[in-house]
Amino acid sequence: MNPCSLTVGVSAFAAVISEKLSDEELAVAAAAFVQLGDSLATIAAQRACICAKASSKPAAVEVLPD
């Protein structure tokens, strides 16, 4: 997806949501979406760390008997 299209879509979604919610509900929704974004970023960082650790481990060497 084009990054600009994503930005426009998210902004349009925010405008639609804001028209349907009270100020208090909008504040709670905004906080929940911030938490969602932070949680997704944490998961992505953990996955990247796990992947980096897995790729940096030396390959196991099988020792054959004489």
- Judge contact between 42 and 49, C-beta under 8 A: no
Q: What confidence score (pLDDT) does residue 66 get?
A: 62
Q: What are the residues whose beta carbons fall under 8 Å from the beta carbon of 26, sequence distance 6 or more?
A: 17, 18
- For the segment 24-33, what is each residue's pLDDT rounded down to a tens digit? 999 999 999 9
Task: State residue 65 phi and psi, 5-degree precision.
Answer: -70, 150
Task: State residue 62 phi and psi, 5-degree precision.
Answer: -90, 125
Please state, in angstroms and rounded to a whole number, the distance separating the CA atoms of residues 36 and 39: 5
Q: What confidence score (pLDDT) does residue 53 get?
A: 85
- For the segment 41-64, what is each residue's pLDDT rounded down to a tens digit? 999 999 999 988 888 766 665 666
Provide the residue ranges of all domains of the chain, joining segments of one domain with +.
22-54
Is the pLDDT at 15 greater than 90? The verdict is yes
